[in-house]
Chain A
């Protein structure tokens, strides 16, 4: 029997959602305010009588924002595809096969996920610089492995463990061939887990800041987080444009979260809960 929610509880929910979402709502309002209303008397009014899209136009016209979006998309997609491929083999073996040293391997994966990025940057930077890979997509995809690979192995292992072994056996007894068992039994069951992992890895790669800041300094190869952070001029900060850019970046992420929220939650909590 679950506890029932009281009216007071719904008040709390409304407050909670409002507090959490307030910064976004405020940025949304500010993004359509004309520049003059961002400062002075009207800076604190939660509405504007002269809504304008000039901030949005300026984000795409005055800054290479489309370029940033493209860079982020390329880097995050390639990183996701290749990490999840490599990780799924390893995770499958760790979860399903019986061999010595599994706990040790999982221990290494976990410890590597705790490594501070700063402790790897010097050698990685010098290595990429010597190869001429700074300011390139590969220059980010390679170091991103340091956090995406442990993350995906960790999540995938818990997903693979949940696939019931009986199904594989049953398929075999029913006379399914190797390929049939693999594609028709294991893959369909593993797909949701792999997909969830891919979403989390994609978000992690999309949001990464430190490597992107240090390795790709050229305007042509900056990713979205760096691009937005560098909107701040030396003397003035174009808040209207920043607000618009924030909205532009947030909208796809918000849509993604709304569509995949159940998957994301199951992925985030999979490693941390013992069932």
Chain B
């Protein structure tokens, strides 16, 4: 494509495309060089890819540094700094003062309570002097008085570290003092007072940045390592079996025969069916009481008892691998067959004339020439297997006793069952890093073959 005569040509040909995709380029079309046109055409796709794939991965890493829990209002967002939940504060402070006043009026520990009240009031004044808080203080207070909803985005206000520390200290002192007093003094509304005093500190939202703590926790728990182990076992065994079987099938059907169409269709059908559906289908076939495949396995002595297939560790892992092999071996053989068909027959004829046997032909011609096809097929299959989710989610749910729990399943459970998105993000970043390492190893073997145009 470096041909200069073509340049003008191509340039003009893609004007219609430019018109559709980029801004009014009609009048300036002659100004478009091939180069800029290329960038314009690639831009929408690249922007989309950046926004929907690359940016989220970076964000996942960022979130993994926080204690992020969606069901916990104080941790449902990323907080790098201290914040004050004004709604909570205003639902507490006026009532706490009121309760204290009430006790003072009744003469219960008046002196000490007076000093507590002063402390609270001076803190409140300081808070009100803060420009962020000042702007919203009254409006939120009014809303609360009228029993109206307050938007959490409005009520959570950033405060500086000194203020936060002072707030924390005050809340602790007040709570301790009132607790202590309640032992010796009989307050008229003891429960209300101690409750409010204990809740006073809750309005302060601590920053939930925890650095690499999630990674440290994960790397030291056995569940994570077991999940990694399960994923690796699943990946290595299933991909190896698929490669050997797929290669054997590809070699066998790489010839002219009657009924190629049927073979091709039966290869494509398992691939085309949604994994979730085929997983459910296998779940039925493996069923301990009524599953036909479980019965066949038991009859052939593969398992000593058909009930054991899905309820024992090895049985479950075997079942998962078997289903995966069933679904993807045909696909693997398809990729390898395409590679085989590019090897010219003349090579085999020449080798046969030179007296090379079948095995020698396979080792010296087929394998070396098929190397890049095999590596590409292996790369995609390994990554797919390592990211396995739907097959296991539907077939075993990670059980029994987490024996088929892969790293993706674990991350999913942490995120959506425990709503612990911080920890889940850390796990997903670990998956990402593993996948990156695996692909780098393959690409090193493949060289730049994969990307070069010719």
Task: Please give the residue numbers on chain A whose beta carbons come within 8 Å of chain B beta carbons, in ascending order.
Answer: 1-5, 9-10, 12-13, 16-17, 20-21, 23-24, 26-27, 30, 38-40, 43-44, 86-87, 89-90, 92-100, 102-103, 105-112, 114-127, 142-143, 145-146, 149-150, 153, 161, 165, 168-169, 172, 178-179, 181-183, 186, 203, 206-207, 209-210, 213-214, 224-226, 228-229, 231-232, 237, 239, 242-243, 246, 249-250, 253-254, 256-258, 261-262, 264-265, 268-269, 271-275
B256 touching A21 by the CB < 8 A rule? no
The secondary structure that dominates the A interface is helix
Q: Which residues of B contact A168 (CB under 8 A)?
A: 9-10, 13
A105 touching B42 by the CB < 8 A rule? yes
B57 within 8 A of A: yes
CA distance A213 to B281 in the complex (A): 18
Contact of B44 among A39, A89, A172, A179 (CB under 8 A): A89
A265 touching B45 by the CB < 8 A rule? no
Given known A118-B408, A143-B52, contact A93–B431 (CB-CB < 8 A): no
A20 touching B270 by the CB < 8 A rule? yes
Question: What 0/1 pattern do residues 380 to 406 of B give for CB contact below 8 A with A?
Answer: 100100110110011000000000000
Contact of A39 among B34, B54, B290 (CB under 8 A): B290
A228 touching B280 by the CB < 8 A rule? yes
A273 touching B339 by the CB < 8 A rule? yes
| Chain B residue, CB-CB nearest to A243 | B284
Sample (18) of A-B pairs whose CB atoms are under 8 Å apart: A4-B256, A89-B42, A93-B42, A114-B435, A115-B57, A116-B408, A119-B428, A120-B57, A124-B52, A124-B56, A168-B13, A178-B15, A207-B275, A210-B412, A228-B277, A253-B269, A268-B335, A275-B342
Q: Which residues of B contact A13 (CB under 8 A)?
A: 253, 257, 259, 262-263
Question: What 0/1 pattern do residues 55 to 72 of B give for CB contact below 8 A with A?
Answer: 111011001000000000
Given known A5-B256, A209-B390, contact A257–B339 (CB-CB < 8 A): no
Residue among B52, B349, B429 with the highest chain A CB neighbour number at 10 A: B52
Q: Which residues of B contact A226 (CB under 8 A)?
A: 276
Interface residues of B in 316-357 (CB under 8 A from A): 326, 330-331, 334-335, 338-339, 342, 345, 349
A250 touching B273 by the CB < 8 A rule? yes
| Chain B residue, CB-CB nearest to A127 | B56
Q: Which residues of A contact B377 (CB under 8 A)?
A: 272
Q: Which residues of A contact B147 (CB under 8 A)?
A: none
15 extra interface residue pairs, beta carbon distance < 8 Å, beyond A1-B345, A149-B45, A229-B394? A9-B252, A13-B253, A90-B42, A97-B41, A108-B54, A112-B53, A112-B54, A118-B411, A123-B59, A123-B60, A178-B15, A182-B13, A258-B265, A265-B268, A273-B338
B301 within 8 A of A: no
Total interface residues in chain B, CB < 8 Å: 120
Q: Closest approach, in angstroms, between the C-beta of B390 and any C-beta of chain A?
A: 4
| Chain B residue, CB-CB nearest to A153 | B45
B363 within 8 A of A: no
Partner-binding segment picked from B197-205, B235-243, B446-454 = B446-454
B6 within 8 A of A: yes
Given known A90-B42, A122-B425, A224-B274, contact A23–B282 (CB-CB < 8 A): yes
| Chain B residue, CB-CB nearest to A147 | B53
Given known A5-B255, A5-B258, A26-B285, contact A114–B439 (CB-CB < 8 A): yes
CA distance A99 to B10 in the complex (A): 13
Given known A119-B431, A239-B290, contact A261–B268 (CB-CB < 8 A): yes
B267 touching A89 by the CB < 8 A rule? no
Contact of B9 among A20, A149, A169 (CB under 8 A): A169
Q: Closest approach, in angstroms, between the C-beta of B55 and any C-beta of chain A?
A: 7
Residue among A10, A96, A106, A143 with the highest chain B CB neighbour number at 10 A: A96
Q: Which residues of B contact A86 (CB under 8 A)?
A: 44-45, 48
Q: Closest approach, in angstroms, between the C-beta of B241 and any C-beta of chain A?
A: 14
Q: Which residues of A contact B154 (CB under 8 A)?
A: none
CA distance A203 to B342 in the complex (A): 27
| Chain B residue, CB-CB nearest to A115 | B53
Q: Which residues of A contact B425 (CB under 8 A)?
A: 122
Q: Which 8 A-B pairs have the closest CB atoms?
A: A99-B38, A269-B338, A90-B45, A93-B41, A123-B59, A209-B390, A225-B276, A5-B257
Given known A111-B439, A169-B6, A246-B281, contact A103–B452 (CB-CB < 8 A): yes
| Chain B residue, CB-CB nearest to A199 | B272
B376 within 8 A of A: yes
Contact of A16 among B36, B266, B376 (CB under 8 A): B266
Q: Which residues of A contact B210 (CB under 8 A)?
A: none
B12 within 8 A of A: yes
Given known A112-B54, A265-B268, contact A272–B290 (CB-CB < 8 A): no
A117 touching B2 by the CB < 8 A rule? no
A43 touching B290 by the CB < 8 A rule? yes
Q: Which residues of B contact A98 (CB under 8 A)?
A: 1-2, 7, 34-35, 38
Q: Which residues of A contact B214 (CB under 8 A)?
A: none
Interface residues of B in 277-301 (CB under 8 A from A): 277-285, 287, 289-290, 292-293, 295
Q: Which residues of B contact A20 (CB under 8 A)?
A: 266-267, 269-270, 326, 330
Given known A27-B284, A209-B276, A225-B274, contact A89–B21 (CB-CB < 8 A): yes
Q: Which residues of B contact A10 (CB under 8 A)?
A: 257-258
CA distance A120 to B429 in the complex (A): 9
B13 touching A181 by the CB < 8 A rule? yes
Q: Which residues of B contact A275 (CB under 8 A)?
A: 342
Q: Closest approach, in angstroms, between the C-beta of A109 and any C-beta of chain B?
A: 7
CA distance A40 to B287 in the complex (A): 12
CA distance A225 to B272 in the complex (A): 12
B46 within 8 A of A: yes
Q: Which residues of B contact A38 (CB under 8 A)?
A: 290
Question: What 0/1 pattern do residues 1 to 30 of B give for CB contact below 8 A with A?
Answer: 110011101101111110011000000000
Q: Which residues of B contact A214 (CB under 8 A)?
A: 412, 415-416
B292 touching A228 by the CB < 8 A rule? no
Q: Which residues of A contact B55 (CB under 8 A)?
A: 123
CA distance A10 to B262 in the complex (A): 12
A186 touching B13 by the CB < 8 A rule? yes
